[in-house]
Every structure is written in structure tokens, then in C-alpha cells.
Amino acid sequence: MDAEKSGAIADKGGEATMRYARVFGLVLILAALLFPATAGVAQERGITPTEIIIGSTVPLSGPAAYWGLGVGRGIDAYLKSINDAGGIHGRKFRTVLLDDSYLPPRAAVNVRELVERHNVFAIVGMIGTANAFAARDYIIESKTLWITPTTNDIWAGLREKKYLFVTYPSYLNEGRILTQYAAEKLGTKKMAVFYQNDEYGLGLLRGVKYGVGAAKGVKLVGQASYEVTDADVSAQAVKLRQSGADTVFIAATPTQGALIVREMAKLGWRPQLLATFTLGDPIMFRLAGEAWNDIYLTAYFPLPGSGDNKIEETLGTLFRYDAALRGSPYNALAGVSFIEPLVEALRRVGPDVTKDKVVAAMESLRNWDGAVARGVTFGKDRHQGLNRIYIVKASNGQYVKITDWISYQTSF
Amino acid sequence: MELRQRYEEDLFLVRGAAAWLATAALLAALAFFPFYTPRYLLFPGILVAINVVVAVGLNVLTGLTGQISLGHAGFVAIGAYTATLLAARLGVPWWLAWPAAGLTAAAFGFLVGLPALRLTGPYLTIATLGFGIAVHQVLTNWEALSGGRMGLAVPRVTFGPAALTSDQRLYYLAMATAVLLTWAAANLGRSHVGRAFVAVRDSDIAAEVMGVNLTWYKTLAFAVSAFYAGIGGALFAQALRHLEPQSFDLLQSIYYFSMIVLGGLGTVPGAVLGAGVLTVLPGFLSGFREWLPVIFGVAIILMMVLEPRGLYGRWLRVRRYFKTWPL
């Protein structure tokens, strides 16, 4: 009896040990299943043996959709064309395009999704100052490559700028340069500005003020602003006319830019017109009508329809991949100009890609000409790749280059 | 069916073992949320918590007291800018600046509540609408104060254990605030103050006859609601780290209003549900792009026609159905 009893007890003890062992084993297996990545070799995020993952969040709906669709789909179409030409050292691009509807909270959500869910190697572009700023801290802290958010001063107050590269002109300098040109060559005496009420328009307004201060005998006599959602700018046209200006600077999106020019034409008022580079789209001749002729604007890459072969070739390729881009050729080209330097850097790095190598390759770009972007220069202490623009004049539905490159000081 | 025999038993917020278990499970789910979900869902979680705070507050005003506000984004903006300016210009620590943001918004709520004594129905709605637009305009044009359309950088607050990421810390702060304020609102609804609010909603003349001080309770409802919005605003500022008046326009006010309508007017769980659904849904449906507002509009109209008591009302019905199932 006793022996039997003790045997039973011993058996029970054995069973218990077995059970613990089994549970322990199960836990180990679960843990191994849950953390498979830690065992493997550390790999660069967004770089797989076959793919390079590029992400962007742009407004594909809402008031700025025109911009976002052109830029976002332009980037996508351009990368597809590179894939079909063989990719970069055996890897193909995969583009993840998210819609933020021009809303900052959505942009903040999207960049996290890009990095943590889609594991992107780099984030390209981003439209809208508020959106870019809402996403900025996260992108910088996650040490993600960030190429050309289209907003000036995004670098202000940043300590860590290693992974931020910008190939986009400075609004401030653009406003200044064009104003000085008008004062010296076009006989402007009284300036007025029509601007979008946000960082974009206000940056240009500040530039015009600098220009007015630097040039002799010019005064800023009027300014009128609009909101990006406005569909009627007739009041602004009247206000600008009452200011008695002889020259009007248009710092607007294509929609409102065309509206104000039409309104001024309705009033029978034809001042000298100046405009920012974002209105360089040939579509403006159709939108704004006859009054768009004789306007002066700046450009940082050869404008479509100005006879540059590389540009026309790129446009042809883009249209082949995405026919919808025919409606916004300028923005599609702008998208290409943002992503191009990164593609070139990846080419230079070779098959063994790491983020720091790409940064070093970006910083090695000197006066580099791409299909769209021209004269891109980065360096250890210079991550603003563009420091020059030129001035074009519109005549007979064409933009004609009338000055050489005009340089300005880069700020970071 | 349980039989309640004493008044105290009727007062319990959570009743019975099953309900306690469900509450505990919910709290645990919220507490461990950052650890069992993919990391990219954390930020939407923060936004949900922020919108829950605002929606629960708006529900006190609109759902309980029956005063429709279409200017709530104005209160949120006041909270956001107050917290940011106090921290950025005066170096006030966040645990002081955020309650101050709530109180400042509450003070404005009190002021907006004053016309509510004379205005009712659509006239009051238009007054609150005007308030919301006015706040937006002031923030746009008073650049010395708000930075105008160039925006205002929000200083980062530091708190909590360094082992957590900044998103995780903000999540806990926002979620704890949301839980605490939701609990407070649920209790408020059952107190004599909440009963007075409901009496005002159902008939303000009858309420006054019964001894409810209209001046006090109407302005109090506005102040409480604005306090919630102000706290929500302070959290929102910290989540985005950059303020712009455009984030607080009329559309945003309508959004807050839709949250409580969709969730179920006059109920705290309804406000929470509505805030959660309307915060998360646009991200999920972003594939529809320009159709999104149409889908939203149609959903709200359908909701009003088919289930005027909102998502929470639908839930109650389903639960009641299953209580007697399969009879």
C-alpha cells in the first residue's frame, strides 16, 4: 500500500514537472514566433533583396488635391518607369501613396503608418506647411530619410537635419528676385501682391517686401489675400485695382491664380503681372485666358513646352504610365524633381544599400543635372540642394527664358 | 432580472459581476493597447482619446442640456492656444498649463452661455456658429498672439518614464484624461446637476417652475462643455506639435457635432462610440478619396432615419433582443 501510495505521489510529481516543462516549451516557441526579427541580421528598413520602398503622404482629396495628385502620381509614374528600365542594382521601387486630405492630424497618422506598417526607406514630399510640421518631429526621430517637403523653413529649429534633403526653391528669395527684376527692367513703381493666406503665400509676400526695400523708387501699395478654399476672388481684384498698383505679384495656386487674372480682365484692368514658379504650368494659358500672356514668372527647371528635350521626354514617359497626368504636367515634373536626387544617390551607392551610405551619396551630388532638376548641389553642411532660379516670360502660349540663372544664399 | 430594492443600488455606475468584469477588461485593454497592437495604431489611439474628451464634453451641452453648439472647435482652439502660449511664452509646466487651458475655455464657455438665456433653438445655434468663426478669424489675423497662418510651434512636454516612446507617453496621458473625464461626465449626468440639465433640455419653463436656476445651469453647461473642449485642445496641440487656425474651422465643429449625433445624443457611451468611429473611419475609407464626404453624409442621414438614437441606441436594442432570445 505504502509503496503504491508513494509511487502514485512520485508519479504525480513527475506529471507536474512534465506539465511545467510543456508550458515552458510552449512559451519559448511562442516567444520565438513573436520575435523572429531579433534573431536575423539587422537590415535597413525599406530595403529588401528585391525592393526599395518609398512612401509619401499628399492630399489626394480635399482643397489641395490638384497639387497632391500631380506630385504623388508623378513620383509613382517616374519610379515605375525606372523599374521597367531594370530598377536600381537589381531592386525595384515600390511606392506607397497615402491620402491626408490636407489635414494635419491625418498627415501625422500617415507618416507613422508609412514608417511602422509599410516600412518605407524614405518619405518623399508632403504638401502643406501645417501637415509637414505635424509630421516633422516623428520623421526626424524615426531617422527616416525625408526628401523635399514642399514647404520653406521646415528646418527651422531642428537640431538633427542629417536625413532631411530639400530640392525646392526658397519662396522668400523668389519673391525678392522677381520684385527686383521688375523694378530694374520693367519700370515697376507701385507693387501689389495677391497671396494665399498661409506659409506659402506669406513667404512670397515677405520676399516681395525685401525686394521692394532693396530696389529704388518702388513702393508696396496694396495686398489682398485669399483662403485656399475660396472660389470667388472678385473682391480682391477690386481691392488691388483701387490700390493704384502698376504691377501685381500673384502668389497663388493655379485655381485662384487663374481666377484673379480673369477678374482683373473683367474689370478692364491690365497691370504688369508677375507670378511664382508654381504657376509655371502651361495649363494656365487655358485657365487664365488671354491675360496670361506677357506675364513674368520664375522657374527652377525648364518648363514644359519651352523646348527642352529631356523635359519633353520625361513628360512623354510619365504620360505613358499615367494618362491622368496630362492634366497636371508641371506638378508631375515637380514630383520627379523631388525624387530624382534620391534615385541618383541609390545608383551611386551600389547594391549594398544603407541609409548612411545614401546620405553620403546625396551629399556627394555637385551641380548635378537630372531629367528635371538642374544644378542640384548637396554637401555635408548643405542640404538645401537648389540655390538658383531664372525668369521666364509668357508670350503666345509659350514660356520663354529671358534671364540666366540667378543665385541666392542657401539657408541650411 | 435583478430586483433593486434600495435607492443606493440604483445609483451604481457599474452593476453586477459581469459589468465589473467587462469594465476591468476594457480598462486593461486600454492600458496595454500600446503593447499588443502594431505601433502605427498608437497615434490614431491618441486622436481617438482626444476626440472622446471633446465629444463627451459636447454631449453634456447638446445631449444633456439640449443647447446645440456649432462652434465647439472654437473652444478646442482656445484650449490649444492657451496651453501652447502659456508653455512657450511663460514657461508654465504642462500640468499647470493644461488645466489653465481648460479653465480659460470654460470662461469663454460661460460668456457664450449668457446669450443662451435669451436665445433658443436655431438662434442659439447661429450664435455659437458665429463664436466659432470669430475665434478662427481672431487666430488667423492676430499674428502677434497666434502666429497667424504661419503657425505656432508647440513645445514638447516631458513626463513619464524614459523607457516609453513619446507617442506612448502621450497615449497614456490622453487616454487617462479621457477615461477620467468620461467617468466624471457619467457621474455628472446622474447628479442633481445632471438632472437639472436634462430638465432644462426637456422644457426650460417647466424646469424653472420646479426651481432650476436657468441662468446658473445653462451657463454651467456651456462652461463644463468648454472645459472639456479646452483640455482636448491642449492634448491636440501636444499631439501635433504645430498649431494652425485651419485645424479649428467650421467643418471641425460640424465634425464634433456629428460624433455625438452618430453615437447617440444624450448618452456618454454614445459620445465615446461616435468619437471613436468618426476618428478612425476616414483613415480606413481613404481609398474612396473625394467620395468620402458623400459617404459620410449619406451614412449620417441613414442613421438619422433608421436609428435616431445612434450607435449606442442600436447596441441597446441588440442587447435587449438577446436578453429574451430565443423567445
Question: Where is pLDDT greater, at B51 or A16?
Answer: B51
Interface with A, mutate which of B142, B158, B168, B244 (most A CBs under 10 A) = B244
- For residue B187, the enclosing domain spans 42-285
Kindly report which listed range (A158-167, A178-187, A238-247) carries the lowest average pLDDT score: A158-167
Q: How many domains does chain A have?
A: 2
Whether the full predicted model's pTM is greater than 0.90, yes or no, is: no
Closest-CA distance of chain A to residue B18, Å: 30
Q: Does A16 score more than 70 pLDDT?
A: no
Q: How many domains does chain B have?
A: 1
- For residue A357, the enclosing domain spans 51-169+306-380
Query: Nearest Cβ partner of A117 from B38, B151, B236?
Result: B38
The pLDDT value given to residue A189: 92
Residue A25 lies in a domain: no
The gap between the terminal CA atoms of chain B, to the nearest Å, is: 16
A145 shares its domain with A201: no
Residue B109 lies in a domain: yes
pLDDT digits (tens, 9 = 90+) for A93-113: 999 999 888 888 889 889 999
A190 shares its domain with A70: no
| Rounded CA separation B223/B110 (Å) | 5
Residue whose entry in the numeric block shows the C-alpha cell 509676400 = A205
CATH number at residue B215: 1.10.3470
Burial of A63 (0-12, 13-18, 19+ CB in 10 A): middle
Interface with B, mutate which of A69, A133, A227 (most B CBs under 10 A) = A133
pLDDT digits (tens, 9 = 90+) for A321-353: 999 888 888 889 999 999 999 999 999 998 889
Residue B157 lies in a domain: yes
The pLDDT value given to residue A22: 57
Any A CB within 8 A of B285 CB: no
Residue whose entry in the numeric block shows the C-alpha cell 447628479 = B191
Hey, are the CB atoms on B40 and A115 less than 8 Å from each other?
Answer: yes
Residues of A whose CB is below 8 A from B292: 61, 101
C-beta separation of A339 from A78 below 8 A? yes
Residues 7-36 of B with CB under 8 A from A: none
DSSP A37-94: HHHS----TTB-SSEEEEEEEE-SSSTTHHHHHHHHHHHHHHHHHHHHTTTBTTBEEE
pLDDT digits (tens, 9 = 90+) for B43-56: 889 999 999 999 99
Q: How confident is the model at residue A28 (pLDDT cuts 50, 70, 90)?
A: low
Integer CA distances (angstroms), B316 to B25, B307, B309, B319, in order: 20, 11, 10, 5
Q: How confident is the model at residue A7 (pLDDT cuts 50, 70, 90)?
A: very low
Q: Does A387 score more than 80 pLDDT?
A: yes
Nearest CA in chain B to A115: B40
Query: What average pLDDT does this structure show over B36-48?
Result: 88
A175 shares its domain with A268: yes
- Side chain identity at residue B297, one-letter code: G
Closest-CA distance of chain B to residue A99, Å: 6
Residue B19 lies in a domain: no
The pLDDT value given to residue A366: 92
C-beta separation of A54 from A93 below 8 A? yes
Residues of A whose CB is below 8 A from B162: none
Residue A130 lies in a domain: yes
Instruction: Please give the interface size between A and B, counted as residue pairs whose CB atoms are below 8 Å apart.
Output: 81
Query: Nearest Cβ partner of B153 from A106, A157, A199?
Result: A157
CATH number at residue A94: 3.40.50.2300
Any A CB within 8 A of B153 CB: yes
The pLDDT value given to residue A306: 77
Q: How confident is the model at residue B268 (pLDDT cuts 50, 70, 90)?
A: confident
A268 shares its domain with A122: no
Q: Does B79 score more than 80 pLDDT?
A: yes
Kindly report which listed range (A254-263, A280-289, A377-386) carries the lowest average pLDDT score: A280-289
A109 shares its domain with A193: no
Residue B18 lies in a domain: no
A161 shares its domain with A235: no
Residue B245 lies in a domain: yes
Residue B326 lies in a domain: no
The pLDDT value given to residue A243: 93
Alpha helices in A350-408 (DSSP H): 355-363
A164-165 sheet: strands from edge to edge: A92-99, A51-58, A122-124, A145-147, A164-165
Nearest to A227 by CA among A194, A205, A258: A194
Any A CB within 8 A of B198 CB: no
A1-10, B139-148, B316-325, range with greatest mean pLDDT = B139-148
| Rounded CA separation A374/A333 (Å) | 12
Burial of A8 (0-12, 13-18, 19+ CB in 10 A): exposed
Query: Nearest Cβ partner of A112 from B43, B149, B156?
Result: B43
A272 shares its domain with A310: no
Nearest to B181 by CA among B139, B224, B126, B219: B224
Q: Does B14 score more than 80 pLDDT?
A: no
DSSP A27: H
Q: How long is chain A?
A: 412
Residue A34 lies in a domain: no
The pLDDT value given to residue A37: 42
Query: What average pLDDT does this structure show over A72-100?
Result: 92
Query: What average pLDDT does this structure show over B224-250?
Result: 91
- The SS3 call for residue B182 is helix
Q: What is the mean pLDDT of chain B?
A: 86
A293 shares its domain with A176: yes
Residues 76-135 of B with CB under 8 A from A: none
Query: What average pLDDT does this structure show over A262-275?
Result: 92
Count of beta carbons in the 10 Å neighbourhood of residue A362: 25
A218 shares its domain with A123: no
